[in-house]
Amino acid sequence: MPAVADPLSKVAQTPGNCLLPAHRKLELYYEVWRRLEAPLGVSKLAGCRACRPGARFGLDFQGLLFDNFRMAQVVLERLTKVFQGRGGESVCAVDNLNLVVEDQELLVLVGPSGCGKTTTLRLIAGLEEPTAGTISINGQLVNDLPPKARDIAMIFQNHALYPHMSVYENMAFGLKLRHYPKAEIEQRVKDTSQILDLTACLDRRPAALSGGQRQRVALGRAIVRQPKLFLLDEPLSNLDAQTRLQMRAEIARLHARLAATMIYVTHDQVEALTLGHRVAVMKAGVIQQVATPVDLYQHPANRFVAGFIGSPPMNFFNGTVLEERGVLIFQESTCAGLAGSNPITVLLDNASTRVLHGCAGKQVVFGIRPEHIECYPRLSDSTLERRVGAVVEVVQPLGSETYLHLAGHAHSFVARVQATERFCTKQQLSLRFDARHAHFFDPVTERALVYSSEPVPRLRADANEAVRIIQ
C-alpha cells in the first residue's frame, strides 16, 4: 500500500489558519480524515473524540456554545462615513466615531432616526466602505476584507427570509453555501430550532409563520453559522408590542447562553436599557455617551442624553441660580405676559450647592425626572423648598403608576406618582422637587454640569464661569 502523506501538517500550515477557531480547525482535520485517510483505514485522529465519525460539531447549549477563539473584540477608531447628496453636497452619516466593543459583550447603539447607528453597523459588516478610520476585529484590520471573510452574521429589520424555502432550508442555506457536511448541517439546525422553539415549524414556509416566528428564523439562520460577531439591525421594530416584549427576553436569554459578542441597533430606548450591557447613545453621527444603562439614566453626559433616555423623558426648566439667605436656589425664568403666576423655585441641597457655588447669578438648565417630583393636593407656602405650584392638565393611569401632565409657570411638565394616589384634571397641586436627584446643564453647550460617570472631580475653567464637574 503506498504511503499517504500526512495531510495535517498541510492544514496547519495553510495561510491564515492561525486565525481559525479551534473547532473550525477540527472540522478541517475531519474533512482530511474523511477524504484521504478513512478509505485507507488510517487515522491519526482516531484518539480525538471530537473528530471521530458522527462527532458533533454543532451547538452544545449545555455549556458555552463558542470556543473563546470564536469571540470578537471590535475596535472602531476615528470611523467616518460621508455620503454624497443629490445636489452634490456632503452628508456625514458617521463622524469620527471611536468605540470598543468588548469580547462577549452585548452593546446597544441607540438614537433617533438618521443618527448613523445603522450606517455604523453596515460599516462593521463590510456593506459600506468607510471614508476614513479603521475597523478591527480581534486585533485584525478588516477594512479591506469583503463581508463574507469577516465571519459576521447580520440580522435585518425585515427578516430577509427566502419565501420559496422552508424554515429548515432558510436556516441551512448559509451552511450549504459553505459546503458543510450534510450531517453537521442537520445537527446544527436541529439544535438551534430546539432552542428557538421552531422544531414544529421546520417544514413551513415564511408565509405560514407569525412575525415572531419569522424573527426567530432569522436569528436561527445566524446562530447556526457560529460567527465571531452578531450584528442586529432593529430586529424587533416590525413586531407588535406583546411579541416584541417576548422576543426581547428571548434575545437576552440567547446572549447569556451563547456568550457571544453582539452589537444591537435600535431607536427604542426601552430596548436599549433592558438588553445592553452598555449603551452608546448617538446623535448626528456622533456618540454622545457610552455607559451602562444605570449610569446612562442616572448620570447623563448632556441634555440630549438626559431627554432621550427615560420614559417619560426628563423635565427641563430654564432659569437662574440665586443666593438667598445664605443658600442657593434655582428660580425659573419669568415669562412676559404671565403676571400673577409664580415661577418654579427649588431649594438646592448641599451637594448641588457645592457644585454650583460659582454659578450664583448665572443661567443654567435645571433637569429632573418625573419620579422625583412629589405631588400634594393643596398648595403650601410654609417652606422655601415647596414654592412650586401647578395645575393638572391630563391624568394618565397605567395600572402600576400614573402620569400627571402639569401646567406650570412657563410650560408643561410630567410627574410620575403611585397608582394609589388620586388626582383629577384642573386640580391645583403643591409640588416638591427632590433636589438630590437634580441635574444641571450648561444652556449654551448643553453639557452636564454634574456628570459622575467616574468619581474623580476636576475643575473646569470656562471664559465666564468655573464650575466643578465630575467627568
Which tens digits make up the pLDDT trace of 152-162? 988 888 878 88
Cα gap 98→135, rounded to integer Å: 10
Any bridge partners for residue 323, and if so which? 328
| Beta carbons of 435 and 417 less than 8 angstroms apart | no
Above 50 in pLDDT, residue 55? no
Q: Bigger pLDDT: 109 or 407?
A: 109
CA dihedral 363, 365, 368, 374 (to 10 degrees): 40
Locate 302 and state its grid cell.
448632556
| Beta carbons of 107 and 278 less than 8 angstroms apart | yes
Above 50 in pLDDT, residue 456? no
Q: Bigger pLDDT: 461 or 270?
A: 270
Average pLDDT of the residues of the chain: 77
pLDDT at 91: 92
The 10s digit of each residue's pLDDT in 291-342 is 999 999 999 999 999 999 998 999 999 988 888 777 888 888 876 555 545 7
Q: Bigger pLDDT: 462 or 415?
A: 415
| Beta carbons of 363 and 317 less than 8 angstroms apart | no
Q: What is the mean pLDDT of residues 6-16?
A: 38
Report DSSP state, residue 264.
E
Sign of CA dihedral 128, 133, 139, 142: positive
Q: Where are the domains of the chain?
A: 7-55, 74-298, 312-470
CA distance readout (Å), 179 to 164, 192, 217, 220: 21, 19, 21, 18
Q: How does strand 315-324 pair with strand 286-291? A: unpaired
CA distance readout (Å), 261 to 27, 101, 116, 220, 266: 22, 8, 21, 16, 17
- pLDDT classification of 396: cutoffs 50, 70, 90: very high
Residue 5: CB atoms within 10 Å:
9
pLDDT at 335: 65
Burial class (CB within 10 angstroms; exposed 0-12, middle 13-18, buried 19+) of 249: exposed
Locate 462 and state its grid cell.
470656562
Q: What is the mean pLDDT of residues 426-453?
A: 82
What topology is assigned to 312-470 in CATH? OB fold (Dihydrolipoamide Acetyltransferase, E2P) (2.40.50)
pLDDT at 65: 39
Cα gap 274→252, rounded to integer Å: 9
pLDDT at 101: 94
Amino acid letter, 236: L
Q: What is the mean pLDDT of residues 268-286?
A: 93
* Closest of 239, 324, 316, 311 to residue 272, by C-alpha: 311
* Closest of 231, 216, 214 to residue 153, by C-alpha: 231
The helix (run of H) or strand (run of E) holding residue 8 is helix 7-12
- pLDDT classification of 459: cutoffs 50, 70, 90: very low
Above 80 in pLDDT, residue 219? yes
Q: What is the mean pLDDT of residues 430-450?
A: 88
pTM: 0.75
The 10s digit of each residue's pLDDT in 167-184 is 999 999 989 888 899 999
pLDDT at 67: 42
Instruction: Assess if CATH 3.40.50.300 describes domain 74-298.
Output: yes
The helix (run of H) or strand (run of E) holding residue 27 is helix 22-32
CA 178 to chain centre: 31
Cα gap 184→171, rounded to integer Å: 13
- pLDDT classification of 50: cutoffs 50, 70, 90: very low
Above 50 in pLDDT, residue 373? yes
pLDDT at 377: 80
pLDDT at 405: 93
CA dihedral 261, 266, 268, 274 (to 10 degrees): 0
Q: What is the mean pLDDT of residues 131-158?
A: 90
| Beta carbons of 468 and 354 less than 8 angstroms apart | yes
Least confident of 79-93, 118-132, 297-311, 336-350: 336-350
Above 90 in pLDDT, residue 244? no
Above 80 in pLDDT, residue 7? no
- The torsion region of residue 180 among left (phi > 0), alpha (psi -120 to 50) and beta comes to beta
Q: What is the mean pLDDT of residues 211-239?
A: 87
pLDDT at 41: 38
pLDDT at 20: 37
pLDDT at 378: 65
Sign of CA dihedral 371, 373, 377, 383: positive
Above 80 in pLDDT, residue 248? yes
Q: How does strand 278-283 pair with strand 286-291? A: antiparallel
Half-sphere exposure of 79 (CA within 13 A, CB side): 31
Least confident of 17-31, 135-149, 209-223: 17-31
Burial class (CB within 10 angstroms; exposed 0-12, middle 13-18, buried 19+) of 286: middle
Q: What is the mean pLDDT of residues 456-465?
A: 31
